[in-house]
Amino acid sequence: MAIAIYPGSFDPVTRGHLDIIHRAARIYDHLIVAVLINSAKSPLFTIEERVALLTECCRDIPNVTVESFDGLTVDFARKRHATVMVRGLRAVTDFENEIQLAQTNYALMPGIETVFLATNIRWSYLSSTVVKEAARYGSDISKFVTPNVEQAVRAKFSAAPSGQP
Using DSSP's 3-state secondary structure scheme, residue 27 falls into helix
Give the active site residue among 15, 17, 50, 132. 17
Using the Cα atoms of residue 113, residue 71, residue 1 and residue 24 in order, give the sign of their dihedral: negative
Is 73 annotated in a binding site? The answer is yes
Known binder of ligand: residue 90?
yes
Q: Is 42 annotated as a binding residue?
A: no
Q: Is the peptide bond before 12 cis (omega within 30 degrees of 0)?
A: yes
Which one is catalytic: 50, 128, 132, 156? Answer: 128
DSSP for 93-145 reads HHHHHHHHHHHHHHHHSTT-EEEEEEPPGGGTT--HHHHHHHHHTT---TTTS
On whether 125 is known to bind a ligand per the annotation, the reply is: yes
Do the annotations mark residue 129 as ligand-binding?
Answer: yes
User: Is 10 marked as a binding-site residue?
Assistant: yes
Q: Report whether 126 belongs to an annotated binding site.
A: yes
Please tell me whether 157 is known to bind a ligand.
no
Do the annotations mark residue 9 as ligand-binding? Answer: yes
Annotated catalytic residue, options 30, 78, 90, 154: 90
- The reply to whether 30 belongs to the active site is no
Which residues, including other chains, have CB under 8 Å from residue 7's CB and lie 6 or more apart? Answer: 34, 35, 36, 69, 73, 76, 85
90 included as an active-site residue: yes
Helix (H) or strand (E) holding 89: strand 84-89
128 is catalytic: yes
Q: For this structure, is 22 an active site residue?
A: no
> Which residues are known binding-site members for ATP?
9-10, 17, 88-90, 98, 123-129
> Which residues are known binding-site members for substrate?
9, 41, 73, 87
Catalytic residue ranges = 17, 41, 90, 128
> Which residues are known binding-site members?
9-10, 17, 41, 73, 87-90, 98, 123-129
